A and B are shown apart, each in its own frame.
Chain A
Amino acid sequence: MIITAKTCIEAWKKALKHILDEGIDFIDLDNRACREELNLIVNIEEPKDYEKLLDSMKQFEWIYPTNEELSTIIFNKEDLAIYEYSYGPRIFNFLGKKDQINDYIIPLLKNDPNSRRAIISLFNPDTDSDVLNKNIPSLMFVHYKILGGKLNCTCFIRSNDFFIGWPGNIYQMCLLQRYIAEKLNIKAGVLTTISSSAHIFHEYNEQVAEILK
């Protein structure tokens, strides 16, 4: 299924409704009931309202990660001892030696704006392809492509809690997209998420209904 919307909020609402209407119920390994839609693609044409998504999550009684923490996790290249993994080091210091953005994506797209090779990987088969390891990143890879003078971004998320996680993912992806676009001196364009498993846990049905009002 492909959902296209102008803004983040609009895309989120459309996708949530689609999962609730068309998804299939199942119980996950932690015994949590959810509704799932496979291979859900969401295109956001002008993802300027990415901060508003986070505001929507802050109206509930739980504590959502702060904008600062979400930003740190994507931009801090230092491995923090307390996390098993973190996105920042994988993006900016993969295996302690590769800055995938500053040493690859930016020079590549500067050199060849038509390149289709601008991809970063967050999955490390060496540590993540482990039967006993449940703590592996959900965000697998991100592809950048310049089209019509704008930097488009496509990211692949293997397991995507569409209600709780997606707003945070969008916030982080938008920040990174804007960081690269600024370095390339162009504007940020479309943001696309491909969620292999897009799901909503039933325990949040009440809050989802609140969002969809």
Chain B
Amino acid sequence: MHDIEESILNIFKNYPSKELNAEFLAEKLYPEEYKIIRELALTEDKVKLHDAKNRKFQLHRKILYYLNKLIENSILKVSRTAEKGEKYFTLQAAEGDTIIGRGYKKIIISKPTITTTDIESYESKEVMKKYGEDSWINRFNSILLECKNKGIEQIYKIISECITNVNDAIALNEFEKIINTSDVEELKRFINDISKDSDTHNKTISLIITVSETGNNFKQFIEHYSSINPRLINIVFNVGNKDVQKHSKILSYIIEKFSEQKIKINFKNMDISSAPFFKGRAGIYNFDEQEWDIYSKKYKGSIIGLVCSQSQIALNINRFFENYTTDAEFREAVLNAAKTLLLVNTIQRRKSNEYFKNINSLNQPSIAEFYHFSRNYIRFWNYDWLKDVKENDNLFELIKSSKELVDKFCHTEETIFKSCGIPIRFKIVFSSAFRNYDKKFMGDRDYKKVTVKKVEDYYVGEVKEFLHAREKMFEIMDGGDRLRIFRASDFRTQDIIHELGILLNAYKLPFFTYDFSGLKGIIKLTNFM
């Protein structure tokens, strides 16, 4: 084995579960040369810039040669190819594999593995699915980063550090603070950059904006955001009932711009929930209200944010009842998912200093606080599969009783571990899954559409009944849920503002989304949910 191959493997040994690219490896292998390249790249001199580019290219080519040799020998593999064909590599060797290096020196790979016997049978029937199977131990699903008192460059650096530690979403809380305090051009550049980064890493970034706190730059920000319509960046607008009148101009502007580009508008009802809600690929994420209150009073400001979700499993309810018949089997399945999540958390805990090294260094000295309020998600797909809302009552009860069982399990496990001197936090919340969780696994969504023909419908009959059923589901789904309202193309902005007022005022719906994308002007009804 060549020296360089051995050096590459030693780097992988330190990051046994990570995807590494040639740039990362080059920087580790040739720190001096890379320092020069960086310095040259900072100048505006075209010759020096060209030189930097050349040096970097040569260095990468050299490393790629040896990376390919390691792939040929089945030691490494290409895990994915990002934008512009940039390849990411991971270890192909398994836990405990010994690779004989130069001079018969042994390189032993320590890669965490997990037996998931508790859900294997469900997985084989495609009833359950882990999220991001390759990274569900060594990455978090989602984290929240605070924007308050941070400059735009600082927040960008933090995102860059954290993005590889997350397998679904990063939320930027109080993003209006960044909008209000940044130069417009700088802000546009930031949106372009995070849009590019989210594409490269295939991660979602959710910007949380409190409408009443927005300032001068806001319209330009909305204009720019809607014009580029970034694929993996979404915005959640925090609104309260009073904002509908007070900030109707801003809301109208958002609705106008977003609907033109068929961008979804997400609203969180601040009157119901003060804790953040945000959107990832897997579904909605949120925090417990009481815990958010503790965080806000005790920890906010001393850490960069919080882990929201550690690991998650989705359960396809429709498919479950094609394979199983009883409620008891359903509860058993949910409990088995909970047991698997506990095992995953156990490994994450043990390896936390290795997996989340960069995040830990950002939170010094209050490292443990970043993990303080994390949860795990069990998400349900097609949970409202029965067309008649009334018949779903049994399903509500089934999910509710499963939740009670899971809560008891979590509490018992926390007590057991704590009694043994292992003070863990282990919480599981329920939520719905998005189709993007895994399109193949999810299949088509089967749900009841409720048509709203006029604003008065919100107060009577089928629509009212439907919304009350959703309120009930929101109560059970302690990990957050969403109501989606599809909107026909021929609407007046004022109608939506009016509807928004009704939804905020008359119903206990913490999170809902206006979707302008699916109708394409062919459906005559005003809107449906």
What residues of chain A have their CB less than 8 Å away from a CB belonging to chain B? 62-66, 69-70, 72-74, 78-87, 135, 137-139, 161, 164-166, 168-169, 172, 201
Contact B421 A69 (CB under 8 A): no
Contact A69 B422 (CB under 8 A): yes
Q: Which of B90-98, B346-354, B478-486 contacts A (4 or more CB under 8 A)?
A: B346-354
- Nearest-Cβ distance from residue A56 to partner chain B, whole angstroms: 13
- Say whether, besides A69-B346, A69-B350, A81-B367, A164 and B421 are in contact (CB < 8 Å): no
> B350's contact among A72, A79, A139, A168, by CB below 8 Å, is which?
A72
Q: Once bound together, how far apart are the Cα atoms of A5 and B256, in whole Å?
A: 79
Most A C-beta atoms less than 10 A away, residue of B346, B350, B424: B350
- Say whether, besides A81-B367, A82-B371, A73 and B420 are in contact (CB < 8 Å): yes
Contact B360 A65 (CB under 8 A): no
Contact B420 A81 (CB under 8 A): no
Task: Output the nearest chain B residue to A165 by Cβ-Cβ distance.
Answer: B419
Query: Interface SS of chain A: helix, strand, loop or mixed?
Result: loop
Q: Once bound together, how far apart are the Cα atoms of A78 and B354, in whole Å?
A: 11
Q: Once bound together, how far apart are the Cα atoms of A62 and B409, in whole Å?
A: 8
Q: Once bound together, how far apart are the Cα atoms of A150 and B271, in whole Å?
A: 67
The residues of A that contact B353 with a CB separation of less than 8 Å are 78, 80-81
Known: A65-B422, A81-B353, A82-B348. 6 other contacts (CB 8 A): A64-B416, A66-B346, A70-B420, A81-B363, A164-B416, A165-B419
Whether, in the assembled complex, B413 has its beta carbon less than 8 Å from a beta carbon of chain A, the answer is yes
Give residues of chain B (417-436) contacting chain A, Cβ–Cβ below 8 Å. 417-424
The residues of A that contact B422 with a CB separation of less than 8 Å are 65, 69-70, 73, 83, 86
Contact A82 B416 (CB under 8 A): no
Contact B419 A83 (CB under 8 A): no
The residues of A that contact B47 with a CB separation of less than 8 Å are none
> B356's contact among A69, A79, A81, by CB below 8 Å, is which?
A81
Q: How big is chain B's contact interface, by range?
A: 20 to 34
The residues of A that contact B370 with a CB separation of less than 8 Å are 81
Contact A83 B343 (CB under 8 A): no
Query: Interface SS of chain B: helix, strand, loop or mixed?
Result: helix
- Nearest-Cβ distance from residue B358 to partner chain A, whole angstroms: 12
The residues of B that contact A80 with a CB separation of less than 8 Å are 349-350, 352-353
Q: Once bound together, how far apart are the Cα atoms of A16 and B127, in whole Å?
A: 43
Whether, in the assembled complex, B220 has its beta carbon less than 8 Å from a beta carbon of chain A, the answer is no
Task: Output the nearest chain B residue to A166 by Cβ-Cβ distance.
Answer: B419
Q: Once bound together, how far apart are the Cα atoms of A80 and B342, in whole Å?
A: 17
Q: Once bound together, how far apart are the Cα atoms of A78 and B352, in whole Å?
A: 11
Q: Sample 8 A-B pairs with CB under 8 A, ordered by A number.
A: A64-B416, A70-B420, A73-B420, A82-B348, A86-B423, A87-B421, A164-B419, A166-B419
Q: Once bound together, how far apart are the Cα atoms of A73 and B370, in whole Å?
A: 20
Q: Once bound together, how far apart are the Cα atoms of A84 and B373, in whole Å?
A: 12
- Nearest-Cβ distance from residue A193 to partner chain B, whole angstroms: 13
Q: Once bound together, how far apart are the Cα atoms of A208 and B403, in whole Å?
A: 26
The residues of A that contact B350 with a CB separation of less than 8 Å are 69, 72, 80
Q: Once bound together, how far apart are the Cα atoms of A151 and B275, in whole Å?
A: 54
Contact B409 A82 (CB under 8 A): no
> B417's contact among A65, A74, A85, A139, by CB below 8 Å, is which?
A65
Whether, in the assembled complex, B139 has its beta carbon less than 8 Å from a beta carbon of chain A, the answer is no
The residues of A that contact B360 with a CB separation of less than 8 Å are 81
Whether, in the assembled complex, B460 has its beta carbon less than 8 Å from a beta carbon of chain A, the answer is no
Q: Once bound together, how far apart are the Cα atoms of A74 and B422, in whole Å?
A: 10
The residues of A that contact B522 with a CB separation of less than 8 Å are none
Task: Output the nearest chain A residue to B417 by Cβ-Cβ distance.
Answer: A65
Task: Output the nearest chain A residue to B420 by Cβ-Cβ distance.
Answer: A168
Most A C-beta atoms less than 10 A away, residue of B346, B368, B412, B423: B423
Whether, in the assembled complex, B203 has its beta carbon less than 8 Å from a beta carbon of chain A, the answer is no
The residues of B that contact A70 with a CB separation of less than 8 Å are 420, 422
Contact B371 A81 (CB under 8 A): yes
Contact B416 A73 (CB under 8 A): no
Contact A169 B356 (CB under 8 A): no
The residues of B that contact A169 with a CB separation of less than 8 Å are 419-421
Task: Output the nearest chain A residue to B409 by Cβ-Cβ distance.
Answer: A62
